Amino acid sequence: MQHEHAYDHAAIESRWQARWADADVYRMPDNATDPAYVLSMFPYPSGDLHMGHVRNYTITDAYARYQRMCGEQVLHPMGWDSFGLPAENAAIERETHPREWTLDCIDTMRDQMQRMGFGIDWEREITTCEPEYYRWNQWLFKRFHEAGLAERKGGEVNWCRSCETVLADEQVEGEAGETPEESHGDGGAAGVCWRCGTPVETRTLDQWFLRITEYADELLDAIDDLEGWPENVKGMQRNWIGRQKGATVEFDTAYGPVEVFTTRLDTLYGATFFALAPNHGVTREIVADDPDLAAAVDDLDSAADGEGKRGVFTGEHAINPATGEKIPIYVAEFVLADVGTGALMGVPGHDERDHEFAVEHDIEIRQVVAPAEAVAGDGADANGDETGGVEGDGEADDTGGADGGRVDVREAAYTADGVLVNSGEYDGLSSAAARDRLVENLDSAAHEVQYRLRDWLISRQRYWGTPIPVVHCPDCGPVLVPDEELPVELPEFVPTPTGNPLEEVESFVHTECPDCGAPAHRETDTMDTFVDSSWYFLRFVSPHSEDAPFDTERATDWLPVDRYVGGVEHAVMHLLYARFFMRVLDDLGLLGVEEPFERLTNHGMVLLDDAKMSKSKGNVVSPEEILEQYGADTARLFMMGVAGPETEFNWTERGVRSSHAFLERLLETARGSASEATEARGTDEASEESTTGETNGTGEVGERPIDEYVARETDAAVAAATADYEAFRFDDALREARSLVSLLGRYRDRGPTDHDVFERGLRTAIELLAPVVPHVAEECWDVLGGDGLVAAADWPTPTGDAAYEAERRLVENTREDVRHILDVAGIDDPETIEVVVAPDWKHRALELASEGDGDAVGAVMADPELRERGEAAAEFAKSLDASYLSGEHLSPDREFEALSRAAWLVREEFDTDVRVERAADADEELAGRARPDRPAIEIYEA
């Protein structure tokens, strides 16, 4: 059941959206100097905004608005990551063109964003599927190519036998139970074709790659300096790059030397078998004239994971380069072609996986490394050679099967470093030293660094992407299209039952070689869409530039993006590719910045009933509905108030309603204040009634403690909320703003208010709320007769330099103490509550003690005046512990003022008389009980 809206959000929102547009508030001039660059990851235009988008953009919008109010020039742009497979699918399904479908979706989503009130500079909108944008993908591709960073080479890709086409990884559907998560890059996925269900094979085809591996070290090492990035993202990137330092070494075989990579060269003497990947070159040679063996190898499943260590003995042997021993060569399932060299030395004594294989195939297990303490215990010559060496060598610890310094490698592999045994001349060396020594001594051995990161395969055999600007000439080979001929535009879309539609467009394919003019055919592959998103944040700097992808000078000034907000799912791909692009562009002299994103925030998910919202599960709350029912501000306020940006939270109807109710109240309060101001002007009738009990203060409206209290709280709220906005703690900032509104409500309800105090409070609250609920804030601002737009107003600054925190704490603690006393003492009907601030000398003593070096009593008693206090001073000094000393303290005057201002709260709560006094004006005994931060309290019963 819906109750009627006390405010017409639809009218208010569209009114202010129009006003913002008219006033061009979000326009970012090109001549700005180092503006605040606040960015949300741009969306794929799927057709509808979902809650995740709304949360994402609300976060950046609120921060951008806050920054703008702080006087910053703010770049908060939006664009569309609009190439990609779904559009192609949708076009086929709906018998339309991917471009039309995409542009329709963009229109819908732009409209939704505008209705959400996101303050975006639409003049800078970019759409990656437009030639104006993707021509620069092509241009950049050429620059990469010139720098030797784009190359064509054989790559493993997914191939569907039935469709006779290459499939992008996304076009490979996972088998039972597996989610077809995105995994770009190399092929090898085990799955089925998305169109026909045929199991996907792997083929090696010539494809275009960007050589990101050239930047592996740089990208990895620079992660340490990304201080504004979350640890998990940094960890994922490190992991993904996967640098591993070790060594290569060759084993001789009847088919020539075969290289292996190992991180544990020190275990070389323990190598008792040799293993090849099923599709290793040497495997093919061995198998070539042995059909039985070939069949056995064929039977191995290279995609098998986990259980069992299947393998086939080839009958061949390899020569251990260190010992000259002959060891059996196996073809093993667990050896992967694309890891290391596709071949490995098996050391069952010191590698768990090898151990398992050896046990299954009855291979000798030999110990060649012992825990350091075991060797020392034997009195063996441990040699003490700790020259250190290769990165990543760990201290010998007792992991991996060591037990009391003794290990039995027949039981389990001992995988830790230690001291060499059974290793001839290397016995007694530490693992690390042995690794270095072996590399020195063996001709075929060399230090080697390996990466998990592979070059980035950007070729995609589909229509809806950036055409790779290459022409294949029978004579000249692949030739790049000259810059003047860019962009290579996509031809009309012709749906084809299978394969890449581009191949079917003769007018596109048939062309001339730019070099020799001979008939040639155009490359029909398009680029991975991650190319588009690897530099889009640069395009926003000069979105209409026609002679460069972006203005170098301006980009160098504006970048990096100050705050980048998006989902964790882009932790590796997008964010790594973008970092790669930036570094290349920097090296090419097109940019003077190396890292794209200064501070990165991964927003949490929006849940419904503890589950991720998803269309397939049907548990989706559509922004469209919320927009209609409650309005944009309600949705924004709820999302921002319920949790910090990184925390996931549950969408609840209740929460939404309470946010909506708050906005209604706020609006009523503003309207009430405005009408009161007009009516009651001059009507200063004394309603002294409610002020008669005031002990401190004159009772004149505007000069009463309560007026001062409200004024002070207004400043305190500003101070706190500002710190919260700075720290991206929007939930806390909103709490401050909301509690200020609530205080103002009480202030108004309890009697005559000072109009200036009240209105300043209200205006301030509106300003604090404006970044999150911009429409209602504008409406209130307008009602109150504010100057211009709040969106363009100055962020409030607290007047004075008050210790707001300390004051609030003092007041709160004192109030709690009063309640506590009343409760514990069982006083039901207090008549007077007397609050006495500690005497000056105690404050002075505290000050001296905190300045002194530990000896509080000494420091205090050294002061002649305090010494005169005798016993009392000594006692007090003794009671000062370190935590008390380290705290922030108010002066006696400040304490007195803060408590006086807040006295009305106590008075109201307990319906009693309250007296706040200075020590000098109070009973001596009572004053004696007071300490700084802790006034004495005496309660008199009726």
Show contacts with RNA in window 571-600 (CB under 7 A): 572
The one among 46, 96, 422, 658 contacting RNA by CB under 7 A: 658
Question: Angle formed by the axes of helices 653-679 and 632-642, to 10°?
Answer: 110
Interaction with RNA in 451-490: which residues (CB under 7 A)? 452
Least gap, CB of 824 to RNA (angstroms): 4
Q: Is residue 750 near RNA by the rule CB under 7 A?
A: no
Distance CA 497, CA 477 (A): 30
Q: Is residue 339 near RNA by the rule CB under 7 A?
A: yes
Q: Is residue 927 near RNA by the rule CB under 7 A?
A: no
The one among 405, 672, 693, 745 contacting RNA by CB under 7 A: 745
Is 720 or 789 the residue whose CB approaches RNA more closely? 720
Least gap, CB of 770 to RNA (angstroms): 19
The token pair that represents 340 in the structure block = 């290391």
Peptide bond into 491 cis (omega under 30): no
The token pair that represents 99 in the structure block = 């471009």
At 812 the three-state DSSP class reads: helix
Q: Is residue 942 near RNA by the rule CB under 7 A?
A: no
Q: Is residue 309 near RNA by the rule CB under 7 A?
A: yes
Q: Is residue 353 near RNA by the rule CB under 7 A?
A: yes
The token pair that represents 559 in the structure block = 């970048």
Interaction with RNA in 318-337: which residues (CB under 7 A)? 333-337
Q: Is residue 742 near RNA by the rule CB under 7 A?
A: yes
Is 47 or 257 the residue whose CB approaches RNA more closely? 257
Q: CB–CB of 295/304 below 8 Å?
A: no
Interaction with RNA in 666-705: which residues (CB under 7 A)? none
Distance CA 717, CA 507 (A): 67
The single-letter DSSP state of residue 175 is -
Least gap, CB of 637 to RNA (angstroms): 13
Interaction with RNA in 175-194: which residues (CB under 7 A)? 181, 183
Q: Is residue 516 near RNA by the rule CB under 7 A?
A: no
Is 171 or 669 the residue whose CB approaches RNA more closely? 669
Least gap, CB of 9 to RNA (angstroms): 17
The one among 25, 32, 163, 236 contacting RNA by CB under 7 A: 236
Question: Concatenated DSSP letters for 334-377?
Answer: T--TTSTTSEEEE-TTT-HHHHHHHHHHT------EE-HHHHHH
The one among 77, 98, 155, 342 contacting RNA by CB under 7 A: 342
Contact characters 872-901, RNA, x per CB under 7 A: ---------xxx--xxx-------------
The token pair that represents 51 in the structure block = 């809650």
Nearest to 184 by CA among 580, 600, 572: 572
Least gap, CB of 730 to RNA (angstroms): 13
The one among 87, 103, 282, 344 contacting RNA by CB under 7 A: 344
Nearest to 185 by CA among 160, 209, 214, 166: 209
Q: Is residue 263 near RNA by the rule CB under 7 A?
A: yes
Least gap, CB of 266 to RNA (angstroms): 11
φ, ψ at 403 (rounded to 5°) = -140, 110
Least gap, CB of 853 to RNA (angstroms): 12
Q: Is residue 940 near RNA by the rule CB under 7 A?
A: yes
Give CA separation, 46 vs 86, 260, 614, in Å.
Answer: 8, 47, 14
Nearest to 638 by CA among 609, 606, 613: 606
Least gap, CB of 305 to RNA (angstroms): 5
Q: CB–CB of 649/606 below 8 Å?
A: yes
Least gap, CB of 937 to RNA (angstroms): 4
Judged by CB under 7 A, the stretch of 206-214, 281-289, 307-315, 690-698 that binds RNA is: 307-315
Judged by CB under 7 A, the stretch of 148-156, 669-677, 681-689, 741-749 that binds RNA is: 741-749
Least gap, CB of 646 to RNA (angstroms): 7
CA contacts within 13 A on the Cβ side of 297: 27
Interaction with RNA in 113-152: which residues (CB under 7 A)? none
Is 130 or 398 the residue whose CB approaches RNA more closely? 398
The one among 162, 204, 647, 687 contacting RNA by CB under 7 A: 647
Other CB atoms within 10 Å distance of the CB of residue 685: 8
Question: Concatenated DSSP letters for 672-729?
Answer: HHHHHHHHTTT-----GGGGTT-SSS---TTTSHHHHHHHHHHHHHHHHHHHHHHTT-
CB-based contacts of 903, cutoff 8 Å, min separation 6: 695, 696, 705, 835, 914, 916
Interaction with RNA in 379-418: which residues (CB under 7 A)? 399
The token pair that represents 106 in the structure block = 């963009």
Distance CA 143, CA 135 (A): 13
Question: How many residues bind to RNA according to rule CB under 7 A?
Answer: 88
The one among 139, 240, 255, 313 contacting RNA by CB under 7 A: 240
Judged by CB under 7 A, the stretch of 146-154, 366-374, 618-626, 642-650 that binds RNA is: 642-650
Q: Is residue 239 near RNA by the rule CB under 7 A?
A: yes
Interaction with RNA in 775-834: which residues (CB under 7 A)? 806, 809, 814-817, 819-821, 823-827
Amino acid at 173: E
Contact characters 425-454, RNA, x per CB under 7 A: ---------------------------x--
Interaction with RNA in 546-565: which residues (CB under 7 A)? none
What residues pair up with 154 in beta bridges, in sequence order? 206
Distance CA 238, CA 519 (A): 47
Other CB atoms within 10 Å distance of the CB of residue 289: 8
The one among 38, 140, 149, 277 contacting RNA by CB under 7 A: 277
Is 120 or 260 the residue whose CB approaches RNA more closely? 260
Is 37 or 330 the residue whose CB approaches RNA more closely? 330
Q: Is residue 359 near RNA by the rule CB under 7 A?
A: no
Least gap, CB of 37 to RNA (angstroms): 25
Least gap, CB of 356 to RNA (angstroms): 7
The single-letter DSSP state of residue 199 is B
CB-based contacts of 525, cutoff 8 Å, min separation 6: 207, 208, 459, 460, 461, 468, 500
The one among 305, 828, 853, 925 contacting RNA by CB under 7 A: 305
Q: CB–CB of 614/179 below 8 Å?
A: no
Peptide bond into 487 cis (omega under 30): yes
The one among 147, 288, 304, 862 contacting RNA by CB under 7 A: 304
Give CA separation, 336 vs 272, 332, 348, in Å.
Answer: 19, 9, 18
Distance CA 807, CA 902 (A): 10
Distance CA 39, CA 98 (A): 27
Least gap, CB of 278 to RNA (angstroms): 11
Least gap, CB of 262 to RNA (angstroms): 3
Angle at 64 between CA 58 and CA 67, to 5 degrees: 140
